[in-house]
Amino acid sequence: MSAPPADPEISVVIPAYNEVESLDPLLAELRAALAAAGRAWEIVLVDDGSTDGTAERIAAEAARDPRVRAVRLEANAGQSAALAAGFSRARGAILVTLDADLQNDPADLPRVLAALEGADVVSGIRAERRDTWLRIASSRIANGFRRRVLGDPVTDIGCSFKAYRRAALEGIPMFVGVHRFLPALCVFRGARLVEVPLLHRPRRHGISKYGVGNRLWRGLHDLVGVRWLKSRLVRYRIKPGD
């Protein structure tokens, strides 16, 4: 196996839990989008304790292409943990996240990167969301409630297609469920947020890892902690030249 190319500018971090059937089309679409972006890249694929061959598929791809890097968790640890593990290995100055299940369209990558030009964090909005009405309605309520309680500017936190400048994420505490609060926590520390409408597609393979119940109640519970965190987060800028 050859060494990965030095210093990718863009790291695409993807958590995957039992998504084996989506990986090949995902990588094909992502490679095309990254080639069009014309910048040095890596894809960090995190296997979150899958039991369906996802880890083996990722390992095979990483062995074939040094720009694809495999991170394997010993057991299923959840989407936030998988993202944290991926971030800890990612080397790019720009960290892009999206889901493994093809619900996000990699062809939207240029729009996300363009939006990041004038921002520190970009968060997608699923313009025409392709999920059941129950999930769409419950997300709408949860997004509205979260925004009200936190003073959080994010319209659609459930859209996993996001991009961060590395500095915006550095030092943000990672906790179970933090993937629903990352852009808000960055903004609370002074990051500039831009939102972009993006495509959304129905899940083609495998099943969603969430029901309405587990997402809603855990999200509400986390709100209490994030509200406290918002009031206590350290926020500072180091004087230029120091």
**Residues making contact with Mg ion (CB under 5 A):** 99, 101, 103
**How far apart are alpha carbons 33 and 110 in whole angstroms?**
7
With CB under 5 to 8 Å by kind, the binding choice for 48 among ligand UDP, Mg ion, none is: ligand UDP
Interactions with ligand UDP, residue window 1-40 (CB under 6 A):
15-17, 19
Quick one: 70 or 98, whose CB is closer to Mg ion? 98
- The least CB distance from residue 9 to ligand UDP, in Å, is 23
DSSP 180: G
Residue 229 phi, psi (nearest 5): -60, -40
Token digits of residue 88: 């800890």
Pick what 209 binds: ligand UDP, Mg ion, none; C-beta below 5 to 8 Å, kind-dependent: ligand UDP
Which residues between 209 and 238 bind ligand UDP (CB under 6 A)?
Answer: 209-210
> CA-to-CA distance for 40 and 48, rounded, in angstroms?
26
* Cβ nearer to ligand UDP, comparing 78 with 92: 78
Smallest gap from residue 65 Cβ to ligand UDP (A): 20
| Near ligand UDP by CB under 6 A: residue from 8, 86, 158, 219 | 158
Shortest distance in whole angstroms from residue 202 CB to ligand UDP: 10
- What are the start-end ranges of the H helices in 53-192? 54-64, 79-89, 109-116, 133-150, 166-169, 182-188
Nearer to Mg ion, 31 or 209 (CB): 209
Residue 226 to residue 232: CA distance in whole angstroms: 10
CA 140 to chain centre: 19
Residue 104 lies near ligand UDP (rule: CB under 6 A): no
- Span of 113-121, 143-151, 167-175, 204-212 interacting with ligand UDP by CB under 6 A: 204-212
188 is in the binding site of which of ligand UDP, Mg ion, none (Cβ under 5 to 8 A by kind)? none
Of 18 and 168, nearer to ligand UDP (C-beta) is 18
d(CA 40, CA 53): 29
Q: Which is nearer to Mg ion, 102 or 223 (CB)?
A: 102
Q: What do you get for the CA distance between the two ends of the chain, in Å? A: 42
What is the C-alpha separation between 17 and 113, in angstroms, rounded? 26
- Tokens standing for 6? 């030095």
- Regarding 124 and contact with ligand UDP (CB under 6 A), the answer is no
Would you call 183 helix, strand, or coil by DSSP? helix
d(CA 51, CA 47): 10
Does 101 sit near ligand UDP (CB under 6 A)?
Answer: yes
Q: Which residues bind ligand UDP (CB under 6 A)?
A: 15-17, 19, 48, 76, 78-79, 82, 99-101, 103, 158, 160, 208-210
